[in-house]
Amino acid sequence: MTRLLPLAFLLCAALPLGACDNMAKQPRDKTWTPANTNPGSGSWPPEPAPNTVAREDRPQPAPALTPALLARGKERYKIYCTPCHGYLGDGDGMIVRRGFPQPPSFHSEALRNAPTRHFYDVATNGWGAMYSYADRVTPDDRWAIAAYIRALQTSQNTAAAELPDDVRRTLR
């Protein structure tokens, strides 16, 4: 009898495992499979709730460059990007001064030569230590910020000789 006891124990232990095996074979989503966007068939809402930004939006084309777009970009940049990138884009924002990894300056050779879409893409997907802003900044606002960063770069890298006469006269 004592010899049979371990055997009985093994049999009992094997029973629930058999049941688990069936569950493992049922259809299911794997980790990181895209959310089910098919209306009515999944738990993911087909439309984003009001005043939220859908993270899974497709990349949007750049809107036309207007003074209004730049003004909006300046406002959004100040809110979302200055804490690390600083007001001039030097990468010396307040959080960096308190110990967050330092971002590169927007006035570096590489970032001056980067296409405007790069700024949109980094805000959308994040970059290294920087996390994504896709859930806080709408696609249009990401383009507005990208345009403003271009303006910041121009503001720091334009030779006085290239300025219009009336602007140059105001320089000291």
Which residues of this chain interact with ligand HEC, rule CB under 6 A? Answer: 80-81, 83-85, 95, 100-101, 103-104, 119, 122-123, 127-130, 133, 137, 145
Cβ neighbours for 49, distance < 8 A, ≥ 6 positions apart: none
Instruction: Give the residue with the Cβ less far from ligand HEC, 90 or 127.
Output: 127
Shortest Cβ 19–ligand HEC spacing (Å): 47
Shortest Cβ 67–ligand HEC spacing (Å): 20
Residue nearest to ligand HEC (CB): 128
CA 123 distance to own-chain centroid: 4
Instruction: Give the residue with the Cβ less far from ligand HEC, 103 or 139.
Output: 103
Instruction: Give the residue with the Cβ less far from ligand HEC, 45 or 59.
Output: 59
Helix (H) or strand (E) holding 94: helix 94-97
Shortest Cβ 68–ligand HEC spacing (Å): 19
- Residue-wise over 91-123: b if at least 16 C-beta within 10 A, else e? bebeebeeeeebbebbbeeebeebeeeebbbbb
Instruction: Give the residue with the Cβ less far from ligand HEC, 20 or 79.
Output: 79
- Greatest Cα pair distance, the chain, in angstroms, is 106
